[in-house]
Each structure stands twice: as structure tokens, then as C-alpha cells.
Structure 1
Amino acid sequence: METEPSVFQKLIAGETLIKKVFRKEILPILADLRLAILLLLIIAVFSISGTLLEQGQSLEYYQSNYPEHPALFGFLTWKIIIFIGLDHVYRTWWFLSLLVLFGSSLTACTFTRQLPTLKSARRWTYYDKPQQFQSIALSAELTTGSLTALEPLLKKRHYLVFQDGNKLYARRGIIGRIGPIVVHGSMLIILAGSIIGSITGFTAQEMVPGGNIFQVKNILDAGQFSQAQIPKDWAVKVNRFWIDYDPDGRIDQFYSDLSVINKQGEEVERKTIHVNEPFRYQGVTFYQADWGIGALRVRVNKSPVFRLPMAPLDTGGQGRIWGTWIPIKPDFSAGVSVLAKDLKGTVLVYNGKGELVSTVREGMSTEVDGVTLFIDEVVGSTGLQIKADPGIPIVYLGFGLLMISVMMSYVSHSQIWALKEGERLYIAGKTNRAKVTFEREIVAILDDLNDLDQNNLLSVGNLSENLQN
């Protein structure tokens, strides 16, 4: 009477079936080079889209720049961008899934193709029959000669030589077989760094007037596990922001003097940044990205200095200009307007009727609506782009290994066999790269042997025919 299998036996059988299906059905598909190339092309296309389409912008931005009528290229609208996630491509679940799938394909290819190839290259056998040499295209047969004379010639050319009685095997360039494996490994490291950066990094932007202290809060784009990277126990103070202009009045460079402030209000690090010279602190990088006018320090008659914020005005695309309104009566019943377009220190003053009264520079004053208005300082605002990407060091490591491994892959793996059978010496060789150079090397070795005995060459098999072809 047959007994029903136990639960444990069913689990074992199920696990065996899963392994069998994975090994015979899934693994060959993952290891297919065509799948890896297809995935790489798809990843490249969406990576390009992430470069061309602005990332991490507001919904209003995409609605105004990618309207439904007319749609860009006839199909690309803000609804498609938001639905697919093209506004944050590198952090979408499907893009990360593509990276994982591509990494799985590389891993499968490494274990099913590259590692067996390396194992085969390291595993060799001596040729102990003359017929084995005839099956190799690059072969020669000598009437005299010895393995003792051949060995130093091979070592001179940096071959690793093994000899067993009347048999000899030599190889060079095994590193060329290791190179493709390191290429795959370095690509996996790059993918791992990209995934880590996507799920743990963030991008923020802040516009901060000089003299203000701020914490990173205006997050534009962030991964699912980015909270640990956003600084909470320290803040940043903008000590000063200024712009250098060239002789023609154009902006030459703009600078921000930044300080990191701890919870006790103490400065722990300080640096002046400019374009292409960021500030890095505890994995967070501050880039100089933009500028603006944040405030105006003024006095009315004999009043103390007070600071008024300046706001950007809509110019309809005709340039950038900032403005503020200055009260000239205690009850705010009257005031004047001040406009500025840069940080050169010159402002335009308008009276209560909106009429231009004068142009004033920093440190000067003007009479307007019965009061004396002193312009002490035009305070600039620095536009900072703030990023944290813990995956960058990993990606750099991967690219470094990739460059090394590509050079390793170009090293030829060459093998030479020799057999001393009676009075005859059989020699054969093959290589996976630079075959013409390898043929010339074999000819040079034979010439060196021939120099030891001018009459020992009987035939060179089909070697001469190969060289003539």
C-alpha cells in the first residue's frame, strides 16, 4: 500500500522542481547575450530621456512646457510624463527593475559563460600523439631539435612553461581570460552604485539671501530611503554672496561664502564656492547654480537700517528684475518703489505715483516724496543646488575597474604545445587574438631553433601556407 508523501517531502520535491526549471528554462534566457544587449539599449534610451527632460520639476512646470495641444513629437504631453514617471526616471520602480534585470543577466552570463571559459583555459593537457598536432592549423614538424632548447626560447618571450618528459606545454596571457569576467564584475558594481544612489540620494534647491542660515528642506527629488542623508543636526549659513563682472558688464563668476553650523551655533567648516567648485560635507554637496537679489538694506531720514525682501517681477521673458516697496509713513499709507536688475549696486527709485525719480548707487541717498532715502546695500541671494548620492564612490570604483578590465581583455591568450617523438620535434600553437603577430612569433621561434641546427627543418606543415595567405 502506497503512503502519501509527507509535507517535508513535498517541499523538497517542489524546491527541486524550481531549481530544475530555473536551470533549464530561466537561466539560459538570462545568460543570452541578445537579452543583455536589448536591456542595455532600453536603459540607454530612458537614461537619455532623463537627460533631455527636466527632472524633479513641479506639476505646473510640466503642464506649461509640455501641453496636450500641441503635444511634443505628437504624443509627449505632461500627462504621459507624469504617468510614466519621466519626471524622475532614475528613481522609478521600472527603471530600477531594468537595472536589476540587466545585472541578473550579466551575473548569469558570467557564471555560465565566462567562468567556464576561464576554467577551460586554466585546465590543459599535454599532446602526446603526432596526430594531435596535425589538427591545429599553426603547426610545424622538425627533424631534430629538443625541448631543452625550446624551453628557454619560450621563457624569453614570457611564456609559462610546463614539461613532463618528452611533452611540453606553454601559455601566456591568462589575464586576457580574466578580463571579461572583471568587465562583468565592474558593470555589476556600477549598477549597484546606481541603484544605491537612486534609492538613498536626494536633490534639493535653495535660494538664500546673504547672511541667512538655512536647513535643507526644499527637496525636489528623493529616493525611498533618503531620509538618513538629509542633514538634520547641522545647518548652513550664507556669510556672503557676490558677483564678479567683466569690463563689459557681463557676469564673470559668482561666489558664495558658506559655513556649516552645528546645533550649538558653532562654525565647524567653511568654504567659498563658485561654479565648478562645490562644497562637500558629510556626503552632501552644495553647488553654485543660480543667483538673485534677496533684500535691500535702507534708511528713511534718520531711521535705523531696516532690511526689506525683494521679489522677482514678471518681465515676460525680457530679462530679470527685482522690486520692493518701502513705506515712508509709520501707518504705511504711503511708500516708494525700488527696482534692481543686478548686484552692481545701482537701483531705480520711483515715487508714490510710479514716476522714476532717480538712479541711486549703494551708499548714496536721494530725495523722494519729501523724505531722504538712503540705499545702504543690495543683498544678493545665492541659488544652491544640493545633492547627496551615496552610490557615487561605488560607481567611480566600478568605472575604474572597467577601464582596467577592458585593457586586460585585449591581452592575447596564447598556447604552445611540443612533443619529442624519436628524432622529430612537433610544435603547434594557437591564440585568441592578434593571430598574425602570433604566427610571426612562432616563425621566429622556429628560426631560433633552426639557427641551432641549420639542417633540422623538415617541414613547417601548413604554417607557410597560412603566412602566404
Structure 2
Amino acid sequence: MDAQNQSINQFHLAQAWLVKLWKKDILPMLADLRLAIVLLLVIALLSIAGTVIEQGQAPEFYFANYPESPALFGFLTGKRLLFLGLDRVYQTWWYLALLVLFGTSLTACTFTRQFPALTAARRWKYYDQPRQFQKLALSTELSGVELRDIGEILATKGYKVFQADDRLYARKGLAGRIGPIIVHASMILILLGGIVGSLTGFMAQELILSGNTFNIAHLIQAGPFSHAPQDWSVRVNRFWINYDTAGEIDQFYSDLSVLDQQGAEVKRDTIHVNQPLKYHGVSLYQADWSIGGVRFRINQSPVLQLPMAQLDTGGKGRLWGTWIPTKTDLSAGISLIARDLQGTLLVYDTDGKFLTSLRAGVSQEINGVTLTIEEILGSTGLQIKADPGIPLFYLGFALLMAGVIMSYVSHSQTWGLVQGETLYFGGRTNRAQITFEQELCQIIECLQARSITCPSNATSKQG
């Protein structure tokens, strides 16, 4: 029994020590504004790095673009970049830990500083000694003025007035004390949105031939708790490009349909750059395009289709090509080259000699066969994103704007006290000091105008 009691006492002692450590050391450190500022600067710098450095690329990309010699800034190489996780900043444990620590610091500051300040602002008391008015930013002594006159004027100026016998208290602008709390709450929501998005969001890329149906599969970024939806698919009904008068691309479009598991269409929309299709929290953006294939006929054959592959041009434009046999034993054939979807194909023989050009819908005899190009098929390049933290972002930024506006509201307080024939009146505010003093001077002038005897010794004291 003694051993059991000793263990219980040791447990309680350890518990008391931890509570004391939390209250006296850890909590004040977390609530320190300097820590929050340092964390915010570090997060901002890392976010800049995540914006400048390409994210989610293959390791070969970083080895090629960040060589060992010369190293960027003298130290940043592909090997170090991958080791530090700078290729996926927003999904690293240390970035998420910084967000959690910053959110914890804001929460501690809110509960240890902002809520007590709000409680103090809501708690009020009357002044019952003339000497108390000497500590106010502006105070005066009046004769021949009744306390209810002050209350009436203050009420017309938006003050909430409390009066008991010969004492008065009035305040306005309590929203100014609530504003900082709203700002802190909004920043916590924004941080929470970032954490949720990093853990559960994903980004994928798909290159789909016009007319095909696909499920989201090629994830290039994904949080540890994210998953691509498999209970619906997307069909590319049509992909096309609009060209300007100079033959340059003006805009490219994709007509997409969302299909349920039974293949029924549940949503259809035409997307273009900066105009995505959104479904169940997933956004499909028009990001790229390609030539996916060509449909043709040889002599009187049915319509045939062959894929077209992108050619290596050494960075001198984009070209796609395919090879069509003109003999059944595949001993002869022609190469078709295309640079866009405007319908023109260049034809070359097996020696690379240019033969002719063909347009869609036109037939021409080549190598003893009649070749008819029916259609050049485009492929749409889609970037697919899902970020469940976006609603928290929007809510956080909306609250942030409201909180900042509320923070600019002045919290003003005034007191009145009647002793004998003298009325003591004064007040203070937490911001806009000059405007507040002008307001009190107007009140004093109004009170003097109401009184039979107008005192000439009203004094103002700058605090």
C-alpha cells in the first residue's frame, strides 16, 4: 500500500511539474509576438522557395538544372535540393510542422492576450473619486451641468451608457477589441487550410485523345491521405483550337463530360485556359495540347486511324509524325508530318524527300495509292487539381478582411462623476486620439451651451 501511495504521489508531483512548466515557460514562449513574427518570416521565405523552385519534377530534372558545379548560390545542388525536400516544399514534414507551430503560437497569443483584453474591455466600473479623472487623456470640471445631459449626448454619438445615481460610464467601439481575435482566428483557418490541402489534396496531368474516356490516374503530386476519385470518369467529346488571322493559336478548348459508374452523363462543360470544369471538389484545367493521331483512307478502304508521336526538333518548334504503309507487305510507305490542327500534313518518302502536302478532306495519289486524310485528331492536356483546404482558405481570408477592418475601430470610454456642484467628466481611447479629443471637446461645448453658468476653466490633458 505504501509503495502504491508513493507511486501516486510521484505521479501527481510530475503532473504538477508539467503544468507549472507549461504555464510558466512553454505557454509564455508560444504566446510571444517575436516568436510568431520569426515563424511567419521563415514560412514566407520557404513559400518563396517553393514558388521559385520547380515542384514535383523528376530527380533527373533537378540534377540537370542544379548541377554540382557551379552550384546555385554556391551551395544549392540537385542532390542537396532533393535531400532537403525543396522539390516538394508544401508536403514536407518540416513545412507542415512550421505551420502547426505558427498556428499554436497564434492560438496561445489569442487565449493569453486577446481574450483577456476583450474581457477587460467588457468589464467596467464607475469612477467615484475626482483624482481618478487626472489619469485620463482628456478631462474637465463643469458646473451647472446634470449627469443625464451627458448621457443623452453620448447616446446620440453611439455610446452605450450606464448610469447609477451620481456616476456615469459610457463606451463604444467594442468591435475594435474583437477585431484582433478575428484576425488571429482567420490566420489559423488559413494555416489549417494549407495543412488540409497538403495532406489530402492532389494534382494530376492527363493527355487524352479527342473522343476517349479516362479516369484520373497520373498523379504528379499527392498528399499522404489523398486519393483520386474512381467512382466517375471524364470523356473528351471534342478538342479544338481557334487560330488568329496570322495562323497563331488564339485559344484551345475541350468539350468534357463527367460520367458516373454506369456511364451516364452527370455534367458537361466546355473548358479553356483559366476556365476549368469543377466537379465534387476536383477542377480540370486546360493546360496543354498535342496531336494524337490521324484518320485516313487508302483507296476504298474503311477509315483507318494511326497515332502521331511528337518529334524531337531540338527546341525548334513542335512537330508530330507518323508512318503509313502504301504496300501490304510494308515494304514501302510515306511519312506524315503535322505542326498544328489546321488540317495540313506534309508528306515525305522513305528517303526523307518532300513529296507533297495534304489537307483534311482532300484525296491525292501517292506511291500508286489514293490517300485521303479524313481528320487530324487532337489530344487535350488537362491539369487536374483537388484541394479540400480551399473552402478554409476562402473563409479565412474573408474573416481576415473583416477582422482588419474591425481592428481599426476605436474603443472609447468616458466617465462622469457629480460631487456637490461640480461635474467631473473625461475619457480615453486606444487609437485615433485626436479625433476622440475633438469629440469630447464638442460634447463639453454642447454641455456648456446647455448650462446656465458656463465655466471658463475647462482643461485638457494630453496623456
TM range (shorter): over 0.9
TM-superposition CA deviations, 1:298-319 (whole Å, max 9, x none) = 1222222111111111111111
Question: The residue matched to 1:332 in structure 2 has which SS?
Answer: coil
Match of 1:374 among 372, 378, 382: 372
Instruction: Give aligned-pair identity as a percent.
Output: 57
Residue type at the aligned position of 1:362: A
Aligned equivalents of 2:37, 2:121: Cα separation in 1: 26
From 399, 402, 405, give the equivalent of 2:400. 402
CA displacement, residues 174-203 of structure 1 (integer Å, 9 cap, x when unaligned): 110000001101111111111111100000
Query: Counterpart of 2:219?
Result: 219
3-state DSSP of counterpart to 1:457: coil
Q: What is the Cα deviation at residue 13 of structure 1?
A: 2.1
Separation in structure 2 between the aligned mates of residue 142 and residue 49 of structure 1, nearest angstrom: 64
In 2 relative to 1, CA 212–3 (structure 1 residues): closer, same or farther, beyond 3 Å?
closer
Deviation at 1:397, TM superposition (A): 0.6
1:210 aligns to 2:210 (yes or no): yes
Equivalent AA in structure 2 for residue 427 of structure 1: F
Q: Is the 8 A contact 2:205 2:381 kept in 1?
A: yes
Cα separation, 1, equivalents of 2:155 and 2:142: 20
Match of residue 22 from structure 1: 22
1:213 and 1:4, CA in 2 relative to 1: closer, same or farther beyond 3 A? Answer: closer
CA distance in 2, matches of 1:73, 1:292: 37
Q: Which amino acid aligns with 1:88?
A: R
Q: Within 2, Cα distance between the matches of 1:3 and 1:83?
A: 51
Q: 3-state DSSP class of the match of 2:405? A: helix
What does residue range 146-157 of structure 1 map to in structure 2 within 5 Å? 146-157=146-157
Structure 2 residue matching 1:71: 3-state secondary structure: coil
Moved more, 129-138 or 324-333: 324-333
* Partner of residue 73, structure 1: 73
Q: Could you tell me how far 1:440 is from its partner in structure 2? A: 0.3
Determine the structure 1 residue equivalent to 2:169: 169
Report the counterpart of residue 326 of structure 2 in structure 1.
328
| Cα distance, 1:376–1:114 mapped onto 2, change above 3 Å | same
> Which residue is 2:286 aligned to?
288
Question: What secondary structure is seen at the aligned counterpart in 2 of 1:439?
Answer: helix
The separation in 2 between residues aligned to 1:261 and 1:214, in whole angstroms, is 10
Inter-partner Cα distance in structure 2 for 1:72 and 1:217? 35
| Residues 328 and 5 of structure 1, relative CA distance in 2, 3 Å threshold | same
Q: Which residue of 2 aligns with 1:87?
A: 87
- Aligned twin of 1:58: 58
Give CA deviations for 1:193-231 in whole Å, capped at 9, x if unaligned: 11111100000001111011111111000000002xx11
User: Is the 2:144–2:452 contact (alpha carbons within 8 Å) kept by the matching residues of 1?
Assistant: no
- RMSD value, Cα: 1.6
Deviation readout 1:156-185 (Å, 9 max, x if unpaired): 101000011100000000110000001101
Letter in structure 2 aligned against 1:430: R
Deviation larger for 354-363 or 152-161: 354-363
- Match for 2:367: what amino acid? D
Unaligned segments of structure 2, at least 5 residues: none
Contact 1:208 1:383 in 2 (8 A): yes
TM-score, scaled to structure 2 = 0.97
Task: Detail structure 1 runs of 4+ shifted over 4 Å in the superposition.
Answer: none
Deviations 1:115-142 (A, max 9, x none): 1111111111110010111122311111
Equivalent position of 2:417 in the other structure: 419
1:307-364 per-residue CA deviation (whole Å, 9 max, x = no partner) reads: 1111111111111111111122223232211111111111111112211111111111
8 A contact 1:352–1:369 mirrored in 2: no
Deviations 1:448-468 (A, max 9, x none): 0011125332422334xx49x
Q: CA deviation at 1:12?
A: 2.3
What letter matches 1:202 in structure 2? F
- C-alpha contact 1:145 1:456 (8 A) present in aligned 2: no
Residue type of the partner of 1:50?
A: G
Shift of 1:72: 2.3
The answer on whether the counterparts of 2:283 and 2:386 sit within 8 Å (CA) in structure 1 is yes
* Contact 1:351-1:368 within 8 A present in 2 as well: no
Q: Name the amino acid aligned to 2:326.
A: I
Residue aligning to 2:137? 137
Within 1, Cα distance between the matches of 2:376 and 2:71?
Answer: 43
Scaled by the length of structure 1, the TM-score of the pair is 0.96
Structure 1: unaligned runs, 5 residues or longer: none
Query: Is 2:347–2:357's contact at 8 Å kept on the other side of the alignment?
Result: yes
Q: Deviations over 1:72-108 (max 9, x none)?
A: 2322221122111111111110000000000000001
Paired residues, number: 463
SS in structure 2 at match of 1:6: helix
User: Residue 357 of structure 1 aligns to a residue in which SS?
Assistant: strand
Residue of structure 1 equivalent to 2:305 = 307
